[in-house]
Chains A and B, each alone.
Chain A
Amino acid sequence: MSWFRRHPSIAGWLLLAPGILYLLVFYAYPTVQMFLVSLWTGSAASGYTLTWNFGIYASALNQYQDQIFRSIEFGGLATLFTFVLSFPLAYFIAFRGGRYKNILLFLVIAPFFTSFLLRTISWEIIFADNGIVLGPAKELGLVPPTFRLLATPVAVIAGITYNFLPFMTLPLYVALEKIPPSLLEAAQDLYAGTWQRFRRVTLPMALPGVFAGTLLTFIPAVGDFVNAELLGSPQSQMIGNVIENRFEKVSDYPTGAALSFILMAAILAAVFIYARLVGTEQLSGGGA
């Protein structure tokens, strides 16, 4: 044991080794393998060989550009909506929560103790054609009998917005909560009005939370296929649906792998640009 003390670097690496090896074998290498599989040609029946077929990237981008743009659109809109919905809520909890702060935070998180799938299925029930909302609305003549929510882009975006809301609310809350009251008092002492104080102190101080929340929401939103599958229609498919379909239904591994690689590369590029802007410590919660 005293040997450990004389070689702290080696002791550190010994502690790290099992977990880091695991991540290298089952996280880092598989992304390389995914890239290699995207360059395979062949079929599930006759077997695949690595042919360095880079052309698949052009054809995949070309064939599925609708779904790619739709994913960015749905993910972006859902991220915007989570921000609009979360900000007043996070603001209220941080500044007006008082002794109910923890209870309010618990009420925000508690719904997410329910399975992601079951939450989405609940929205399916709520949006159903003659369900608990549209049924009575149609009977009262508020909407035409053919009006639909389920199987529309609105339902998909609403589902994504709901499912990823805490990923926005919590970072915003953490950022707002950190603002020292003395700073707000100082603004007041310097004759800043309520609006000016909000715009020149609160909002800039909340920016790290906005950045973190945007990333945490946009990344899962853009890659999601569950909401589009359960709440959407074949016309509102996202890139995730295509990838899932390529692997699980038709065993077209190269196209599925190529699309996943494009998704990963696009998101990593976005993360690195963000990291350059705000620093990785804000993103991973310190230490990185």
Chain B
Amino acid sequence: MVASAAPNHIQKPRGHLGRRLVRSVDRWILPLYAFVAVLYLAIPVLVMIAFSFNDPTGRSNLTWKAFSINAWLDPLGKPGLAQAVTTSISIAVLSTIIATILGLLIGLALVRHAFRGRGIVNLLIFLPMSTPEIVLGVSLLTLFIASTQWSFVPKGTFFPLSFTTILIAHVMFNISYVVVTIRARLQGFPRHLEEAAADLGANEWTTFWRVTFPLILPGVIAAALLAFSLSIDDYVITEFTSGQTQTFPIFIFGSQLRGIPVQVNVIGTIIFVSAVLFVVISTLLQRRQRLDPVEAEEE
């Protein structure tokens, strides 16, 4: 009895200390860490915004000199910049439309139809997402280069590289992301609503446009937004498929050696702020009108 009581007596304060340590980690250190981590994530963005108000003396916008709003007053005032931004937006819009249509069809087939070869199709969707961007860029470039040796490809289709080859590349890397996003939305789809439409005499075409499509629309929009943002930000794959054509990221990288103009920070800030505003506003709108039948059903 005495022997077993003694270790208990010694262990008690140690356990107490351990519990206090755990509690202080839980109560103070973890929230503090989360705060510091979020701040760390935000720092480069804050630096980008701050340096859009810089007035650099030399060519490079790397050290702080003086406050100025000159770049904000003339955000496209660098040769080639307006053209690059226009090209980026055009490619993003076109590749989003094409990839969303192709991806939606694949998503519908995968979720709603039984067919052989499903495993291979899934693999073909999954592989582009797990291939490094540089390999996607290089392999497309080798295709474009090799196509000049093929008689069945009209001269100049793919090489020299152009707007078209960038567009081909962006559609390619966007399809998988669209499929994955839409598939997640289609799983758990209320099939009985379509059956109800059929029972009420709607043909398949009407059922698709009046019942199915409105239900999957949020997923389609989410996929399209993802595709747009991936396209407008892409540098690596575009670098290998662009030739002389400049997109906004290519412009940034190209001017990196000569010194990045302050205007780049201005446009970066505008893109960042509009993306944040867009997400905030759409979240608020969604919260206000819960008209979404899929979600309503889940609740």
Query: Which A residues are within 8 Å of any B CB, using their own CB?
Result: 1, 4-5, 8-9, 11-13, 15-16, 18-20, 22-24, 26-31, 33-34, 36-37, 85, 88-89, 91-93, 96, 104, 106-108, 110-111, 113-119, 121-126, 128, 130-132, 135, 162, 165, 193-195, 215, 219-220, 222-226, 230, 240, 243-244, 247-248, 253, 256-257, 260, 263-264, 267-268, 271, 280, 283-288
Residue of A nearest to B278 (CB): A113
Q: Which of B37-45, B73-81, B211-219, B290-298 contacts A (4 or more CB under 8 A)?
A: B37-45
Q: A96, B131: Cβ atoms under 8 Å?
A: no
Q: A96, B22: Cβ atoms under 8 Å?
A: no
Residues of chain B contacted by A284 (CB below 8 angstroms):
122, 125-126, 129, 180
Q: A31, B139: Cβ atoms under 8 Å?
A: yes
Q: A260, B134: Cβ atoms under 8 Å?
A: yes
Interface residues of B in 98-117 (CB under 8 A from A): 102-103, 105-106, 108-110, 112-116
Interface residues of B in 135-161 (CB under 8 A from A): 135-136, 138-143, 145-146
Q: List 6 A-B contacts (CB under 8 A).
A: A1-B203, A19-B175, A92-B33, A106-B279, A115-B248, A263-B132
Residues of chain A contacted by B30 (CB below 8 angstroms):
88, 91-92, 96
Q: Mark contacts of B164-199 with chain A using CB atoms, 8 A cut-off: 1 yes-contact digit, 0 otherwise.
A: 000011011001100110011001000000000000
Q: A23, B115: Cβ atoms under 8 Å?
A: no
| B48, CB-defined interface residue at 8 Å | yes
Q: B272, A114: Cβ atoms under 8 Å?
A: yes
CB contact between B204 and one of A1, A93, A240 (< 8 Å): that residue: A1
Q: B45, A111: Cβ atoms under 8 Å?
A: yes
| B51, CB-defined interface residue at 8 Å | yes
B35 to chain A, nearest CB (A): 9
**Interface SS of chain B:** helix
Q: A287, B110: Cβ atoms under 8 Å?
A: yes
A32 to chain B, nearest CB (A): 9
| B221, CB-defined interface residue at 8 Å | no
Residues of chain B contacted by A30 (CB below 8 angstroms):
139-140, 142-143
CB contact between B252 and one of A111, A118, A126, A247 (< 8 Å): that residue: A118
A91 to chain B, nearest CB (A): 7
A219 CA to B128 CA, complexed, in Å: 12
Contact status of A257 and B124, CB under 8 A, knowing A19-B103, A223-B135, A267-B131: no
Residues of chain B contacted by A124 (CB below 8 angstroms):
62
Q: B134, A240: Cβ atoms under 8 Å?
A: yes
CB contact between B44 and one of A85, A162, A193 (< 8 Å): that residue: A162
A110 to chain B, nearest CB (A): 6
Q: A108, B38: Cβ atoms under 8 Å?
A: yes
Q: A113, B229: Cβ atoms under 8 Å?
A: yes
Residues of chain B contacted by A18 (CB below 8 angstroms):
102, 105
Beyond the given pairs A9-B113, A195-B22, 11 more chain A to chain B contacts, judged by CB atoms under 8 angstroms and listed by A's residue number, are A18-B102, A20-B124, A24-B124, A31-B139, A33-B143, A117-B235, A118-B44, A165-B41, A224-B134, A268-B127, A283-B126
A36 CA to B146 CA, complexed, in Å: 9
Q: A107, B38: Cβ atoms under 8 Å?
A: yes
Residues of chain A contacted by B260 (CB below 8 angstroms):
121
Choose among B42, B109, B171, B184 the residue with the greatest number of A CB atoms under 10 Å from its CB.
B109
A230 to chain B, nearest CB (A): 7
Q: B142, A33: Cβ atoms under 8 Å?
A: yes
A58 CA to B137 CA, complexed, in Å: 23
Q: A26, B132: Cβ atoms under 8 Å?
A: no
A18 CA to B178 CA, complexed, in Å: 14
Q: B146, A37: Cβ atoms under 8 Å?
A: yes
Residue of A nearest to B252 (CB): A117
Q: A287, B34: Cβ atoms under 8 Å?
A: no
Residues of chain A contacted by B70 (CB below 8 angstroms):
none
Contact status of A12 and B109, CB under 8 A, knowing A195-B22, A284-B180: yes
